[in-house]
Each structure stands twice: as C-alpha cells, then as structure tokens.
A = this chain, B = another copy of it.
Amino acid sequence: MHFDRNALENFDSRYRAALINSVSGYKPANLVGTANASGQSNLAVMSSVVHLGSHPPLLALVVRPGGDERHTLANLLASGEYTINHINRAIYRQAHQTAARYPAEQSEFAACGLTEQWLDGFSAPFVAEATVQIGMQLRQHMPLEINATHLVIGEIVALTLPDAALRSDGSLDLASADTVALSGLDEYLQASRLARLSYAKPDQPLREIEE
C-alpha cells in the first residue's frame, strides 16, 4: 500500500492522526511528573522522550500545548524541574488514564490511582509505582514554530533503577524491568530480546553479547 503527499493530506483527521502517530516505530512509554508553585501535582503520559546525549546526560521531550500537556509545560517552565518515570506492565492502564482531561486543580496521581513520591530538595513528584525514575532539570526550552509544539531539553540529575535490571556494562535490561513500549496513540506492548550485537566494525562479523 502506498500513499503520496496528496493522499496523506486528504485523510480524515482521526485516521491520519492514528497513522502518522504509528509510522515512526515503537515509542518509549513514560509518565512525566510536575508540580506548580503550590505543590499541586500533575502527571501526563508521554511517548516523545528522546536521547540527546550522555555527557552531559540530556533527554529531550516534545510537548504539545493542547490538553493535559499544557499543565506539564507550564509547571516545568516555572519550576525548572520534572520527572520521567517508566511505565511498566503493572501500571499501564493507570498511566493511559492520565491522558483524560482532568481540571487543573485535580491531580492525575489521585484520580488514576498512582502514588506521589517526593525526593528531598526536588520540586517535582516521582511515580512510586515506577521502578525506573529519572529526575530532570530543565536546560533549554525551544518553541517549534513549524507546528506550535515545544522541544524541552533537560539534564538527568537523579536516577533510580531496579538493581536486577542494571547490567555490568551500564546498560539497562528494559524487559526485565517490565518497562512497556507504546505504539500510535493507544497500544501498549511488552518486548523481548532478539539479540544484543557487538560494536560494528567494517571488516568484522557481528557477535552476540550474552549478558
């Protein structure tokens, strides 16, 4: 099946949204936690976290200004801090429910059955049920004029991981941490390893890394 630009333009908007949201491939499934100046918490499911670099450790996040993500953006710009929490198999339904349009004064934590966890000296709440929790400090905010989204660049300043998922080389076994993936707007998936492959060099065959 082949679609050209004209066909894409003429799709019904919901059909196009479902399609375009799924063509990039699997997406990371995270909950982004923030709080406003009064300590009122907010939690939003987001699939747009992308690795930017490891030294300094930077992650970027694409935020859409509509709906719940508006509160997330306002909070993190005001406080300069936010959390990224992996969605796992035990909480993906609660995580999806955070996308409902709750009023600003209602926290998605309580409304969706998730628990706030606060770290001393850090103004944004973590998700207690998440075993991979990342504390972020805002480094740069770039509005993207092309479609009125926002690129938020932050530095990892705190990182909590399950011991059993951390391999000896520093990589994380996401499947053993029960982290899930997202596809499109609504599909949650579990993953299993095909292989870890050695660093590629021009004239050497790849070998499998067993750990």
Contact = CB atoms under 8 A, between A and B. Distances in A.
Contacts of A197: 92-93, 96, 186, 188
A23 B134 contact: yes
Given A1-B162, A30-B25, A142-B142, A19 B200 contact: no
How many copies, total? 2
A25 B147 contact: no
A140 interface: yes
B52 A144 contact: yes
Interface string A126-165: 0000001010000110101011010101011111111100
Interface of A: 1-5, 8, 11-30, 47-60, 62, 64, 84, 86, 89, 92-93, 96-102, 111, 132, 134, 139-140, 142, 144, 146-147, 149, 151, 153, 155-163, 166-167, 169-172, 174-175, 179-181, 183-202, 206, 209
